Structure 1
Amino acid sequence: MSAVQHAWLGHYEISSTTCTGLTFARHSHDECVIGVNLVGEEKVWLDRSEFAAGPGSITLYNPGQIQGGGAADGAPWQFVSLYVTAEQLAADLGLAQMEFDRALCFQPDLARRLATAVKGALSGDGLVRDLNEDALVLLLAEVVNLSGVRLPGTVASGKGLIGRAQELLAEHLHQALPLDRLGDELGLSKFHLLRTFQKETGLSPRQWAMQLRTRRAKGLLRKGVAASEVAHDLGFADQSHLNRHFRAAYGMTPGHYQSVLKP
């Protein structure tokens, strides 16, 4: 028996699996495959060699590599997986090309954070999915670095570049600006955009856009605009989405805020 959650997140295919005694015949993938073992031990067969991956292990497979294995019969096993083409991963991280130099990394803290981001990316909440996509890009940079691939250094950004990013985000508040499109506009990979933006502001681009969206919502509510209209005009998924973020930022719902403004 096994329980599998599966979804696409932008260009990433992700899954979370909980099972008992699951095994895979020898096979290969067109994409890079990154696996995180959470519970149980996986016996791995990879290109004529064998190794074990226990909890806290991250497994890394290049496109076309022959792999197989799984958990022993009756043994509990829980893991998350991410699939992405080598070309896409290279582009997201600002690399000319992408190939893992190691098949196994034992990094329990990184494995936990990567698994948390994958599970968050399976959420039904669109904003939560977006924020976890951002987290995955940064975490994949750590994984790739551990695998032996050297990442490009930080680009010279300056406040001008981040200012332009903020202008673009502000112009698209009513409809979220995808990270790859924002990166294309600025000539940055997703990884360098995220790292540079966070260094300058302490927030990811999506987080910064949400705080601006919430701040503008406060201004419209102060003018007496209905919360449902505010939510629609500023690109919130619905009024409950506005309520949740407004309360998190200001400690009260939009309705309560408007009620205390009345004489």
Structure 2
Amino acid sequence: MSAMQHAWLGNYELSSTTCTGLTFARHSHDECVIGVNLLGEEKVWLDRREFAAGPGSITLYNPGQIQGGGAAEGAPWQFVSLYVTADQLAGDLGLAQVEFDRSLCVQPDLAQRLAAAVKGALSSDARVRELHEEALLLLLGEVVGLSGVRLPGTAATGKSLIGRAQELLAGQLHQSVPLEQLGDELGLSKFHLLRTFQKETGLSPRQWAMQLRTRRAKGLLRNGVAASEVAHTLGFADQSHLNRHFRAAYGITPGRYQSVVKR
């Protein structure tokens, strides 16, 4: 018995699997494979050696490595997997190349955060997926760092560059600006952009854009613009999406706020 969710997030292939006693014949992948074990013990066969990966384990496979194994018959097993080409992962992290030095990292906290990001990225809500894409990329930086790959520093990126990123986001509030586009405009890898932006603002670029959208919505509502028009003008998915973010930020619905400030 098994249940699997499977989706693409940009150039990343993601899956979440809940099963009993599933095994895989020896095989290999063209991509880097990152697995997170949440429940049960996986017996792994990798390049002629065997090891066990229990809950909280992160397994890392380089392209072409022969792997196999799985959970014992009748044993419950829950895991998430992520597949990405080595070139794509290297480019997103600002590295010349990526090759994992370790195949197993036992890091329960990181494993839980990585699994939560993968599951969020499998959401049917496009904006939830986008936010988790950012979280996923930052976590992948942590994973790759743990595996023995040295990540580039961010010291050279100053406030002026982040200010430019904020200008670009503010100028296109009516739509979601892809990380790739923002990174290309600034000459930064997606990971470098995310890490520096968060260091400077405490928010990811999409979170920052959403708080600005919500703030601008407040001004438009105060001036009597209908909530449905505000949602459309500022690029919210719909009015309920505006309601959700406005209430989370200000503790009041747009409709209630508009009736309170009406002159």
TM-score (norm. length: structure 2): 0.98
Moved over 6 A (4+): none
- 1:93 counterpart = 2:93: yes
8 Å Cα contact 2:35/2:58 also seen in 1: yes
- 1:175 counterpart = 2:206: no
CA deviation digits over 1:182-205, x for unaligned, max 9? 011001111110111111111110
1:1-263 counterparts in 2 under 5 A? 1-263=1-263
- Structure-1 separation of matches of 2:189 and 2:225: 39
8 Å Cα contact 2:222/2:262 also seen in 1: no
8 Å Cα contact 1:221/1:227 also seen in 2: yes
8 Å Cα contact 2:34/2:82 also seen in 1: yes
8 Å Cα contact 1:155/1:192 also seen in 2: no
8 Å Cα contact 2:53/2:104 also seen in 1: yes
Q: Secondary structure at the match of 1:100?
A: coil
- Structure-1 separation of matches of 2:145 and 2:159: 27
- Structure-1 separation of matches of 2:31 and 2:155: 28
- Structure-1 separation of matches of 2:108 and 2:32: 21
Q: Using the TM superposition, give the Cα deviation of residue 73 of structure 1 relative to its aligned residue in structure 2, in angstroms.
A: 0.3
Q: Could you say what the CA RMSD is over the residues aligned between the two structures, in angstroms?
A: 0.8
- Structure-2 separation of matches of 1:216 and 1:262: 17
Q: Using the TM superposition, give the Cα deviation of residue 147 of structure 1 relative to its aligned residue in structure 2, in angstroms.
A: 0.5
Q: Using the TM superposition, give the Cα deviation of residue 25 of structure 1 relative to its aligned residue in structure 2, in angstroms.
A: 0.9
Q: Secondary structure at the match of 1:33?
A: strand
Q: Secondary structure at the match of 1:97?
A: coil
Q: Secondary structure at the match of 1:83?
A: strand
Aligned residues: 263
| Unmatched runs of 5 consecutive residues or more in structure 1 | none
Q: Secondary structure at the match of 1:102?
A: coil
Q: Using the TM superposition, give the Cα deviation of residue 262 of structure 1 relative to its aligned residue in structure 2, in angstroms.
A: 2.2
Q: Secondary structure at the match of 1:29?
A: coil
| Unmatched runs of 5 consecutive residues or more in structure 2 | none
Q: In the alignment, residue 88 of structure 1 is paired with which amino acid?
A: Q
Q: In the alignment, residue 57 of structure 1 is paired with which amino acid?
A: S
8 Å Cα contact 1:33/1:84 also seen in 2: yes
Q: In the alignment, residue 73 of structure 1 is paired with which amino acid?
A: E
Q: Using the TM superposition, give the Cα deviation of residue 93 of structure 1 relative to its aligned residue in structure 2, in angstroms.
A: 0.6
Identity of aligned residues (%): 86
TM-score (norm. length: structure 1): 0.98
Q: Secondary structure at the match of 1:17?
A: strand
CA deviation digits over 1:161-210, x for unaligned, max 9? 01100000011111110011101100111111011111111111000000
Q: Secondary structure at the match of 1:150?
A: coil
Q: Using the TM superposition, give the Cα deviation of residue 122 of structure 1 relative to its aligned residue in structure 2, in angstroms.
A: 1.3
- Structure-1 separation of matches of 2:221 and 2:185: 32
Q: In the alignment, residue 171 of structure 1 is paired with which amino acid?
A: G
Q: Using the TM superposition, give the Cα deviation of residue 214 of structure 1 relative to its aligned residue in structure 2, in angstroms.
A: 0.5
- Structure-2 separation of matches of 1:6 and 1:232: 31
Q: Secondary structure at the match of 2:149?
A: coil
